[in-house]
Amino acid sequence: MVDLRSDTVTAPTPGMRAAMAAAEVGDDVYGEDPTVAALEAEVAALFGHEAALFAPTGSMANQIALQLLVPPAQELLCDADAHVVTYEVGAAAGYGGISTRTWPASGGAPDPDQIAAMIRPDGFWAVPTRAVAVEQTHNLAGGQVIAVETLRRLRGVVDEAGVAMHCDGARIWHAHLADGVPLAEYGGLFDMLSVCMSKGLGAPVGSLVIGSAERIERARWLRKRMGGGMRQVGVLAAAASYALRHQLTRLVDDHARAARLAAELAPFGVVAAPPRTNLVPLDLRRSGWDAPSLAAAARERGVLISVLGPRIGRLVTHLHIDDDAVDRAVAVLVALLRSRPAA
């Protein structure tokens, strides 16, 4: 099978498995796992922040950050297609009592002026805005990269309003390589970030929430309250460290392969936006196919694709997609798009 559904489907590589087997571990709830502590220090330093905390998932890392930045019954602003309000099953409201308000889906290009106009100050019996969240890269926008200049303008907006800024950086690694922006430069633009080790980087589990030492101390408490306190988890932190060392810079290959997939499918009018990173968003409205039928037909021929809506699909390149896999996927998808779905 050529599995193009997501970059979360990767399995640990042999080198990563060896690093996991050799990891020194301890009880991390007691603060005694040296491999976890080393990973947390390394990632905090990469982004130029004081501290970081290893969390089991990107969703938990995001939700811990949001609870730290927005008190109950106060407001977070984000994109209508943001992961934090689309795919985290209402956690901001459920865990944090956080009120969310969204700006129209921006395709990964948020408008700082529009966001400035949305920020509500204290008083007037209105829900006050406490934080703005952006997603880098933007998943539902097809892995688009928010320009660093836009982020700088947005930082100016939140500073002027006295509110905080969070980055859902599940795929910030891809933005760093696509735009050549140092991770520390991204780090300096946000009060808190979450970054994921188990997507493009290829570790089996884990995200980190990043911020000031004071906030991360409180994050440790929130993680435990949410059931995310983990014990001898150095085996997973070792996989994440290995990924940073050996599987970060290769993401440019995933970007090139996504570009090739898009170029081969573009003549059929199904590529929603030219990919900048490893996601190829598909809009099938002009193809005669609906997404579930195309996915089912492709599966029968050995290719797995994501279905995100009745006519919306997605292809994702990752660690296990080499040039041969791209060739096989192109052959199958081109043949299907040339034909018509079975009645």
Binding stretches for ligand PLP (CB under 6 A) = 57-59, 62, 83, 135, 139, 168, 170, 196, 207
**Measured between alpha carbons, how far apart are the two ends of the chain, in Å?**
25
Nearer to ligand PLP, 78 or 284 (CB): 78
Q: How far is the CB of 342 from ligand PLP (least distance, A)?
A: 32
CB atoms under 10 Å from CB of 300, counted, come to: 9
- Is the backbone peptide bond immediately before 137 cis, with ω within 30 degrees of 0? yes
CA distances from 215 to 58, 266, 305 (A): 17, 46, 39
Q: How far is the CB of 196 from ligand PLP (least distance, A)?
A: 6
Nearer to ligand PLP, 57 or 212 (CB): 57
Q: How far is the CB of 343 from ligand PLP (least distance, A)?
A: 35
Whole-angstrom distance, CA of residue 195 vs CA of residue 237: 13
Q: Which residue has the tokens 């440019």?
A: 252
Nearer to ligand PLP, 78 or 336 (CB): 78
Nearer to ligand PLP, 3 or 32 (CB): 3
Q: How far is the CB of 55 from ligand PLP (least distance, A)?
A: 9
Q: How far is the CB of 168 from ligand PLP (least distance, A)?
A: 5
- Residue 201 near residue 247 (C-beta atoms within 8 A): yes
Nearer to ligand PLP, 163 or 208 (CB): 208
Nearer to ligand PLP, 119 or 201 (CB): 201
- Residue 175 near residue 193 (C-beta atoms within 8 A): no
Q: How far is the CB of 199 from ligand PLP (least distance, A)?
A: 6
Q: How far is the CB of 135 from ligand PLP (least distance, A)?
A: 5
Whole-angstrom distance, CA of residue 247 vs CA of residue 239: 11
Q: In the beta sheet, which residues pair with residue 133? A: 166
Nearest to 101 by CA among 76, 84, 126, 83: 76
Whole-angstrom distance, CA of residue 284 vs CA of residue 289: 6
Nearer to ligand PLP, 98 or 332 (CB): 98
Residue nearest to ligand PLP (CB): 58
Q: Take residue 110 and report the two structure tokens written for it.
A: 């948020």
Q: Where are the alpha helices (DSSP H) in the chain?
A: 14-22, 34-46, 58-69, 83-86, 91-96, 112-118, 148-161, 172-179, 183-188, 213-225, 234-246, 251-265, 291-300, 323-338
Q: How far is the CB of 1 from ligand PLP (least distance, A)?
A: 20
Q: How far is the CB of 158 from ligand PLP (least distance, A)?
A: 20
Nearer to ligand PLP, 8 or 293 (CB): 8
Nearer to ligand PLP, 65 or 297 (CB): 65
Whole-angstrom distance, CA of residue 316 vs CA of residue 110: 23
- Residue 110 near residue 103 (C-beta atoms within 8 A): yes
